[in-house]
Homo-oligomer: A and B are copies of this chain.
Amino acid sequence: MTGTGGDVLAKTRRFSRPRELVRATLDDSDVFLTAQGVHDRLRASGERVGLSTVYRNLQLLADDGEVDVLRSEGGEALYRACGDRHHHHLICRRCGLAVEVSGPGVERWAARIAEENGFVDVTHSIELFGLCASCAAASA
């Protein structure tokens, strides 16, 4: 039988300049970006990449685990390049600044809760939204 859950489907992935641009845009940013945001940055730097292409590649990169995806409080998808180790974020809801945080204890807590309730294939969304120091100062 196939392994549990989706994984090594060995999809052929061809090189493409647009994808590299999207990846680079995320790499160059220290904040979470929306698809539109990535598109805007590309346009601002003189690159013309279709919006569809940005969405498509953002999804591909997410599927490949190269970028983190999370939902803003408003429900939009936010993307960011990230290391491969598991972590969560503390995000400024004003400027988007994201700080990677980790909490081994939290991971264990989540796993235990899931198990105690008979849930399987559990993922968790643990994100903290607030105002970073500079934004808090700016709005004082």
Instruction: Please list the residues of chain A having a beta carbon within 8 angstroms of any beta carbon in chain B.
Output: 71, 73, 75-77, 90, 92, 99, 101, 103, 105-106, 109-110, 113-114, 117-133, 136
Contact = CB atoms under 8 A, between A and B. Distances in A.
A40 to B, nearest CB: 20
Contacts of A106: 103, 105-106, 109, 126
A30 B31 CA distance: 37
Contacts of A122: 90, 128-131
A32 B131 CA distance: 28
Nearest to A133: B118
Given A99-B117, A123-B130, A125-B125, 17 more contacts: A71-B75, A73-B123, A75-B76, A75-B77, A90-B119, A90-B122, A103-B106, A103-B109, A103-B113, A113-B128, A117-B133, A118-B133, A118-B136, A119-B131, A121-B130, A122-B128, A123-B129
